[in-house]
């Protein structure tokens, strides 16, 4: 796609969730790339937003505080981006606490479950793999199981023990998609469905929009590193046909998603900054 404007990246993870770069490093890298606007969209947390906004102020990059919520639609997992949320909003704080305690409870239960099926690891061992008790997820369980010598690789840990149907897996309590959308709205933000073509067909996207747009969903992330060019076009067309916002970003995770670069994804992504102008006007009218 030929585009005469500047590029933006509205989907970025820092080391406050499961990326490797600090929020400050991300802003510096984005500024060096000449990005016009960036959004920090850590999973279920806004811990990095202050550092992100502060750094950007001195570097001339436009930024917006944001978040990516993992929520449930029927039996599937949907990710909802919230742009322009107020990181200090009490409803948001309470909502994010739900995610925090759901993860913590799940992790404690997985320690018990793994012992029950014959693969004991301690919670401390798992935390040591994550570096921060707030950040523990299944990849760290996989690493702890590997260090104990139960499995040779992370992939084997998922295949044999902690994959979605594995004997050592415990699901966490999920929030409904509609509730996630409402939470973003309550916090003054604009809810956008992240990477909808990872896991859903065009037809099911249209059906789900029928449920979530009335709840306040405002846009679709069409431009995503892992959407093929065809999927990007399809999602943009679905959004535009319904007067919804179109957004885009790489889903950068630093070293933790090797080969995926800030701003350009796998090399073929270029998110036009006209999308930022539309999102920004929506954010202004939401205030
Ligand atoms: P959690 O949110 O703690 O349940 O962990 C989910 C994370 O585990 C995902 O974001 C993936 O990074 C990773 N994961 C899930 N399934 C697999 C799998 N089959 N192989 C490798 N990694 C996986
Ligand atoms: Zn992530
Ligand atoms: Fe996501
Ligand atoms: Fe993401």
pLDDT (tens digit, 9 = 90+) per residue, 28-43? 999 999 999 999 999 9
In this predicted model, what pLDDT tens digit does every residue of 88-106 receive, in sequence order?
999 999 999 999 999 999 9
Q: How much of the chain exceeds pLDDT 70, in percent?
A: 99
CB of residue 137 inside a 6 A radius of ligand 1: yes
CA distance 199 to 176: 17
Contacts of residue 83, defined as CB under 8 A and 6 or more positions apart, other chains included, come to 10, 39, 64, 66, 189, 190, 192, 247, 279, 283
CA distance 35 to 38: 7
For ligand 1, atom 15, the nearest C-alpha belongs to: 163
CA distance 84 to 64: 6
Q: In ligand 1, which atom is closest to the CA atom of 70?
A: 2
Both tokens of 85, joined, read 């949320």
CA distance 39 to 50: 12
CB of residue 29 inside a 6 A radius of ligand 1: no
b/e map of 251-275 (b: 16 or more CB within 10 Å)? bbbbeebeebbbbbbeeebbbbeeb
C-alpha distance from residue 192 to each of 7, 252, 272 (Å): 19, 17, 17
Residue 4: predicted pLDDT? 63
Residue 181: predicted pLDDT? 98
Among residues 273, 277, 286, the alpha carbon closest in space to that of 3 is found at 273
Q: Is the pLDDT of residue 3 over 80?
A: no
What is the mean pLDDT of the segment spanning 66-74? 97
Instruction: Output the pTM of the full model.
Output: 0.94
Q: How confident is the model at residue 287 (pLDDT cuts 50, 70, 90)?
A: confident
- Smallest-distance ligand from the CA of 137: 1
- Contact yes or no for 41/13 (Cβ under 8 A): yes
26 C-alpha to center of ligand 1: Å?
24
142 C-alpha to center of ligand 1: Å?
9
How far does CA 119 lie from the centroid of its chain?
30
Residue 5: predicted pLDDT? 73
- Contact yes or no for 202/227 (Cβ under 8 A): no
Both tokens of 199, joined, read 């896991």
Residue 58: predicted pLDDT? 86
Q: How confident is the model at residue 255 (pLDDT cuts 50, 70, 90)?
A: very high
Q: In ligand 1, which atom is closest to the CA atom of 169?
A: 4
Residue 237: predicted pLDDT? 98
Beta bridge partners of 4: none
For ligand 1, atom 18, the nearest C-alpha belongs to: 158
């Amino acid at each position: 796609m030929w585009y005469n404007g500047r590029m933006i990246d509205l989907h970025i993870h820092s080391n406050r969730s499961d990326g490797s770069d600090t929020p400050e490093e991300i802003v510096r890298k984005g500024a060096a790339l000449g990005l016009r606007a960036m959004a920090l969209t850590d999973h279920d947390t806004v811990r990095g937003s202050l550092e992100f906004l502060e750094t950007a102020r001195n570097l001339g990059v436009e930024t917006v505080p944001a978040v990516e919520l993992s929520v449930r639609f029927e039996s599937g997992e949907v990710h909802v981006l919230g742009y322009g949320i107020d990181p200090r909003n009490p409803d948001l704080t309470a909502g994010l606490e739900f995610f925090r305690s759901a993860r913590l409870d799940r992790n404690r239960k997985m320690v018990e479950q793994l012992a029950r099926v014959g693969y004991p690891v301690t919670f401390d061992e798992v935390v040591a793999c994550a570096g921060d008790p707030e950040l523990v997820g299944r990849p760290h369980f996989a690493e702890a199981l590997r260090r104990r010598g139960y499995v040779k690789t992370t992939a084997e840990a998922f295949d044999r023990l902690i994959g979605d149907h594995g004997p050592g897996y415990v699901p966490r309590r999920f929030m409904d998609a509609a509730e996630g959308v409402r939470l973003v709205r309550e916090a003054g933000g604009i809810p956008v469905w992240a990477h909808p073509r990872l896991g859903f067909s065009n037809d099911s996207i249209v059906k789900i929009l029928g449920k979530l747009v009335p709840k306040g969903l405002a846009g679709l992330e069409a431009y995503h590193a892992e959407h093929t060019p065809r999927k990007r076009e399809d999602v943009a067309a679905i959004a535009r046909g319904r007067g919804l916002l179109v957004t885009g970003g790489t889903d950068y995770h630093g070293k933790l998603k090797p080969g995926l670069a800030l701003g350009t994804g796998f090399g073929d992504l270029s998110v036009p900054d006209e999308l930022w102008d539309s999102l920004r006007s929506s954010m202004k009218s939401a205030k």
